[in-house]
């Protein structure tokens, strides 16, 4: 906890500083949600096909999903999504002629969530 998944347009390539984003996001999650730094885990998934409305070109996408153990207030969850979107804007360089669609969501992990660390 937290489990963080970031889906992003593969065409962003070098325009998205994923490592810098993850480090900054982890720090923000620790401060905002009282998580432990070593508990923050992020994975990035490049998405090759993006369609917005009827358009298949001219758009980039970044979606940040944060899954946390239950118990965070609505205010904390809202602060996390707002903070994540600010960090997306800070770590994704604009790409000429392309609109960036950024979104973030916080959800509670299911009661069945377990983890193992060796």
- Kind and range of the H or E run holding 79: helix 74-91
Residue 1, pLDDT > 80, answer no
Return the CATH number of 3-108, one of 3.20.20.140, 3.40.640.10, 3.30.429.10, 3.40.50.620.
3.30.429.10
How does pLDDT run across 5-49, given as a tens digit for each residue? 999 999 999 999 999 999 999 999 999 999 999 999 999 999 999
Helix axes 74-91, 18-33, angle to 10 degrees: 160
Q: Which residue ranges make up each domain of the chain? A: 3-108
Quote the pTM value. 0.93
Report yes or no: 22 and 66 within 8 Å, Cβ to Cβ: no
* Three-state DSSP class for residue 25: helix
């Amino acid at each position: 906890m937290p489990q963080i998944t970031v889906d992003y347009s593969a065409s962003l390539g070098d325009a998205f500083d994923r490592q810098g984003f993850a480090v900054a996001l982890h720090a923000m999650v620790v401060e905002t949600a009282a998580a432990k730094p070593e508990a923050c885990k992020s994975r990035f998934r490049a998405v090759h096909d993006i369609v917005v409305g009827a358009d298949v070109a001219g758009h980039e996408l970044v979606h940040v999903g944060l899954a946390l153990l239950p118990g965070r207030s609505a205010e904390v969850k809202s602060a996390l999504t707002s903070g994540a979107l600010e960090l997306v804007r800070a770590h994704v360089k604009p790409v000429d002629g392309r609109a960036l669609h950024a979104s973030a969501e916080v959800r509670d992990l299911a009661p069945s969530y377990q983890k193992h660390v060796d």
